């Protein structure tokens, strides 16, 4: 019997998200302006916090362009997750300040410093100022009660396959005996032979190995895999978000795969029989995710990233 409706309680709940952010939307701005300095006062000298701020915001002094927007102009944007995530931070700054931003899956570096969710991993990405945008979809962490030893000796993956590199992977491993992988396309030209039923996060956590494969930009499942007791398999990331994918170390935080996945079977078999090595990588991955789970600290870092942007733009003294 087909399931036409199912709630996955392991994911973030949008209803609660919108309720919380609607309260923020209608809270007078002066309240946030009064509390900003109290929130940030003790954090500007913290070395770890400054490291993260400078990682996300690599800008030097610059000038915003004529088409930059201020708070009132930005307020006309559609009231969706990107809007609310950015609005929550803008509430703490004067309304006349101007800024640039690009919503969505950004894979190119803007011509002028702009707030973005994602950027390419390279030395010339200083115009891409990362903020924690669309976090309800991308920042999911799990409590995995399963032990690594109790899981299936298989690699699992589910996702959309509209991108060529994903299609090549799924075509190659759809029928592989060590894999349970399939596409879950819901629109466009559905390639039926590669289609499989959806699996919830909890169902995927029953497998020892979970693939993280980039889509339009980053692999959105990477955060929850790294917080689990399953082992991440992926190629070297090309894009990064607030999760700082560019700082991840191959075969330390995740199992590195070749770009053509020709070593996938070899790696599955290796870590099936080298359990302690697998668990060591999982432990390092779990530890890495901990830095993003301190809600107060995440807010402080976000505000300091934005403050640095306005200061370097000459908008804020």
Q: Using the 8-state DSSP alphabet, how is residue 150 labeled?
A: G
DSSP 21-57: HHHHHHS-HHHHHHHHHHHHTTTTT-HHHHHHHHHH-
What whole-number distance in Å separates Cα of residue 116 and Cα of residue 60? 17
Element (H, E) at 276: helix 275-290
pLDDT at 193: 72
pLDDT mean over 298-311: 98
Q: Is residue 7's pLDDT more than 50?
A: no
| Domain over 148-290 is classified CATH 3.40.50.2000 | yes
pLDDT at 241: 98
pLDDT at 13: 79
Q: What is the mean pLDDT of the chain?
A: 93
From the centroid of its chain, how far is CA 241?
Answer: 5
pLDDT at 42: 85
pLDDT at 31: 93
Q: Is residue 306's pLDDT more than 90?
A: yes
Q: Using the 8-state DSSP alphabet, how is residue 69 labeled?
A: B
pLDDT at 41: 86
pLDDT at 6: 33
Tokens of 293: 């789970």
More confident residue, 19 or 271: 271
Q: Are 231 and 278 in contact (CB under 8 A)?
A: yes
pLDDT at 2: 36
- If DSSP codes are grouped into helix, strand and coil, which group holds residue 265? helix
| Closest to 303 measured CA to CA, from 36, 34, 4, 17 | 36
Domain(s) of CATH 3.40.50.2000: residues in the chain: 148-290
pLDDT mean over 210-231: 97
Mention every residue, 6+ apart, whose C-beta is less than 8 A from residue 229.
144, 146, 147, 148, 151, 205, 282, 286
Burial 160-179 (b: 16+ CB within 10 A, else e): ebeeeebeebbeebbeeeeb
Q: Is residue 117's pLDDT more than 50?
A: yes
pLDDT mean over 262-291: 98
Q: Is residue 9's pLDDT more than 60?
A: no
What whole-number distance in Å separates Cα of residue 289 and Cα of residue 224? 9
Q: Is residue 129's pLDDT more than 50?
A: yes
Owner of token pair 């993003």: 292
Going by pLDDT thresholds of 50, 70 and 90, the confidence category of residue 313 is: very high
The DSSP bridge pattern shows strands 231-234 and 255-256 to be parallel
pLDDT mean over 135-144: 93
| Closest to 108 measured CA to CA, from 303, 279, 239, 281 | 239
Q: What is the pTM of this model?
A: 0.91
pLDDT at 4: 30
From the centroid of its chain, how far is CA 240?
Answer: 8
Q: Is residue 101's pLDDT more than 50?
A: yes
pLDDT mean over 105-129: 96
Going by pLDDT thresholds of 50, 70 and 90, the confidence category of residue 11 is: low
pLDDT mean over 223-246: 98
Q: Is residue 12's pLDDT more than 80?
A: no
């Amino acid at each position: 019997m087909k399931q036409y409706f199912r709630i996955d309680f392991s994911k973030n709940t949008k209803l609660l998200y919108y309720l919380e952010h609607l309260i923020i939307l209608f809270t007078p701005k002066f309240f946030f302006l009064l509390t900003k300095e109290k929130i940030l006062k003790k954090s500007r000298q913290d070395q770890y916090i400054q490291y993260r701020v400078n990682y996300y915001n690599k800008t030097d002094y610059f000038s915003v362009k004529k088409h930059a927007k201020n708070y009132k102009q930005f307020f006309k944007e559609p009231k969706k997750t990107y809007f609310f995530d950015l609005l929550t931070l803008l509430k703490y700054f004067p309304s006349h300040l101007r800024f640039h931003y690009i919503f969505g899956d950004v894979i190119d570096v803007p011509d002028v410093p702009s707030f973005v969710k994602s950027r390419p991993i390279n030395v010339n990405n200083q115009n891409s100022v990362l903020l924690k945008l669309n976090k309800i979809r991308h920042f999911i962490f799990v409590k995995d009660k399963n032990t690594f030893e109790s899981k299936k000796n298989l690699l699992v993956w589910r996702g959309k396959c509209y991108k060529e590199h994903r299609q090549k992977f799924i075509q190659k491993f759809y029928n592989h005996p060590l894999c349970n992988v399939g596409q879950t396309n819901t629109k466009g030209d559905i390639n039926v032979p590669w289609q499989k039923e959806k699996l919830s996060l909890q169902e995927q956590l029953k497998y020892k190995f979970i693939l993280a494969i980039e889509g339009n930009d980053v692999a959105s499942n990477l955060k929850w895999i790294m917080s689990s007791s399953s082992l991440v398999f992926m190629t070297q990331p090309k894009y990064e978000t607030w999760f700082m994918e560019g700082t991840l170390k191959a075969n330390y935080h995740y199992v590195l795969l070749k770009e053509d996945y020709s070593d996938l079977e070899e790696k599955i078999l290796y870590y099936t029989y080298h359990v302690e090595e697998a668990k060591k990588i999982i432990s390092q991955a779990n530890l890495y995710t901990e830095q993003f789970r301190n809600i107060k600290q995440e807010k402080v870092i976000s505000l300091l990233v934005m403050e640095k942007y306005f200061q370097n733009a000459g908008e804020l003294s």
